[in-house]
Structure 1
Amino acid sequence: MNYYTPQGGLPPQRDLLTDRAVVKQAYTFIPKGVLRDIVTSNLPGFSNTRAWIIARPVAGGATTFSQLIVEIGPGGGAERPEPEAGVEGVVFLTAGTLTLTLEGVEHVLEPGGYAFIAPGASWSLANAGDTAASFHWIRKAYEAADGIDLPSSFVTRDQDVEPRPMPDTDGAWATTRFADPDDLSHDMHVNIVTFQPGGSIPFAETHVMEHGLFVLQGKAVYRLNDDWVECEAGDYMLLRAFCPQACYAGGPEPFRYLLYKDVNRQIRLT
């Protein structure tokens, strides 16, 4: 498995400033070249750590979640990473090795490691290695529903979950589903979507779910509202509800992205 991981740094002074970054009413496109040293944040409670915050609830944009790319250096970590009560999370490791202690049980995460952290769970992170570890951290305020229990935390790996082909695609389009789609305790899904070269979404999806899409591998042309946008490993797309979307995957390798969406809840009107 290949997972793009930002390295920071700065472009040379001779480079043109023109890039592919764009913010529109229906979507935001953040190319990998934007993830530089000077746009990182330090996080309270973490040591030897920096983070690129690539999504947050904002007026006129996506409102249900935040997403960070977090880099923890050797010896760094956090005893209590989550500062807010009632917030669930997903950790997906793309580089290095990280020790996750979840409800008193240690898990050593390597690239492809995935953890769902239930709201209220006790957890910590530590980098005991000699190289930096990098992971995506997706956070959402959990929305409880009458008669439905809280979801349980779990740890798995991308490599251990069989992708499910979409109907009538002969495997050209498949989704690695880490949580059971029929389990109503989950109000968000964070999956990996894989397209083989030439695979496509053959219609403009237009739906209520918000999306965060981080391209882990490969390249494609992605339909965002009324624009066709070239994207590659390291790019990030933030889609508001009802933003039309589709794609054609290029080659020569699979096109894969980490996908957030909010699911399984009635729309609140009061």
Structure 2
Amino acid sequence: MTSYHAPMGGLPPQTRLMTGRAVFTEAYAFIPRGVFSDIVTSALPGWSQTKLWMIARPMTGFSETFSQYVMEVAPGGGSDAPEPEAGAQSVLFVTHGEVWLSLDGQEHELGPGGYAYIPAGCRWRLHNGSHEPARFHWVRKLYEPAPGVAPPAAFVTNEREIAPMAMPDTGGRWATTRFVDPADLAHDMHVNIVTFQPGGLIPFEETHVMEHGLFVLEGKAVYKLNRDWVEVEAGDFMWLRAYCPQACYAAGPGPFRYLLYKDVNRHAKLRGPGAFGR
């Protein structure tokens, strides 16, 4: 049975050493699980009985395409107007508890492993009707239309319903659960789950234009981030700007798995922030 790490909040005791693994560099940020305390949570307008950890947000000169929240909604909490930005698309991934999700009038119940893609302009509501807190990831990105390409439709699924696709010549030690067909150009972002079996690895330093958010759902590994090898475990978050070199070696006794965001399938912007055009 697959398990997903979800932060429990609270505050560390006064006796704990404050030295930890958190770091923010010119190429990546690393937010370890111990940082997910109540003192760094936020609230959102329009949401009731809800707190969140905002672990990624657009920042000029760093990572500019997406935001990512770790949400916790108490029983009876939720929102009838969750998204204030008309151009924003969303992905929700449930790690604990259950949520009731309404998409353009269609009702869905999502438990652990539940995944929803919500296109820009879709009317949606979310509530926790159970007796325990619900925890989920919320990834947001402004949708970039493409000439001649119709925008994608909403869908709801569960990780258990999708067979992971093994990377070539890896013997299944490195596989990706893809919620969207990579050949579907309607989508300008992918939010997938990457799984490494013990001994699996990324055998080269990936260096590419895509920005990344990687939340470790399960297991442990050592991860190459720019110049540094970092030991990571369930509950840690890695936030990579474009072209940050990365590699991985799954060194734990069980599977190493993370939720991965990346921007895809669009031209580089030649005008606007960070570009030369006017």
- Is the contact between residue 99 and residue 128 of structure 1 (CA under 8 Å) also seen in structure 2? yes
**1:48 and 1:77 in contact (8 A); partners too:** yes
TM (normalized to structure 2)? Answer: 0.96
Q: Residue 249 of structure 1 aligns with which residue?
A: 250
The equivalent residue for 1:13 is 14
Query: 1:4–1:94: 8 Å Cα contact kept in structure 2?
Result: yes
List alignment gaps of at least 5 residues for structure 1. none
The match for 1:216 is: 217
Distance in 1 of aligned mates of 2:128 and 2:215: 23
- Given that 1:218 and 1:250 are in contact with CA atoms closer than 8 Å, whether structure 2 keeps it comes out as no
Alignment of 1:116-265 (within 5 A): 116-265=117-266
Q: How does 1:70-81 map to 2 (within 5 A)?
A: 70-81=71-82
* Amino acid across the alignment from 1:124: R
Q: Quote the offset at 1:219 in angstroms.
A: 0.2
Q: Which amino acid letter does the alignment assign opposite residue 16 of structure 1?
A: L
Aligned residue number for residue 90 of structure 1: 91
Q: CA deviation at 1:253?
A: 1.2
8 A contact 1:67–1:138 mirrored in 2: yes
Q: Distance in 2 between matches of 1:228 and 1:203?
A: 13
Aligned-pair RMSD on alpha carbons?
0.6
The percentage of counterpart residues that share the same residue type is: 63
Q: Distance in 1 between matches of 2:251 and 2:210?
A: 25
Conserved? CA contact 1:25–1:60, under 8 Å = no
CA distance in 1, matches of 2:62, 2:49: 31
Alpha-carbon distance, 1:61 to partner: 1.6
| Whole-angstrom CA distance in 1 between matches of 2:198 and 2:124 | 39
1:44 is matched with 45
- The letter for the 2-side match of 1:237 is M
Report how far residue 251 of structure 1 moved: 2.1
Q: Deviations over 1:189-240 (max 9, x none)?
A: 0000000011000000000000000000000000000100000000000000
Superposed displacement of residue 17, structure 1: 0.6
Q: 8 Å contact 1:212–1:259 — kept in the other structure?
A: yes
Corresponding residue number in structure 2 for 1:4? 5
TM-score, length-scaled by structure 1: 0.99
Aligned length: 270
Which residue pairs with 1:53 in the alignment?
54
Query: Can you list the C-alpha shifts for 1:59-111, whole angstroms capped at 9, x where unaligned?
Result: 23211000000000000010011110111000000000100011111110000
Contact 1:177 1:191 in 2 (8 A): yes
Contact map agreement 1:164 1:177 (CA 8 A) in 2: yes
Off by >6 Å, runs of 4+ in structure 1: none
Q: Secondary structure at the match of 2:39?
A: helix
Do the aligned residues in 2 keep the contact of 1:86 with 1:120 (CA within 8 Å)? yes
Q: Which AA in structure 2 matches 1:252?
A: P
Q: Output the CA distance in 1 between the equivalents of 2:198 and 2:174.
A: 10
**Aligned 8 A contact 1:21 1:29 in 2:** yes
Residues 132-159 of structure 1 show CA distances to partners (whole Å, capped at 9, x for unaligned) of 0000000000011111101111000011
Distance 2:228 2:252 in 1: 21
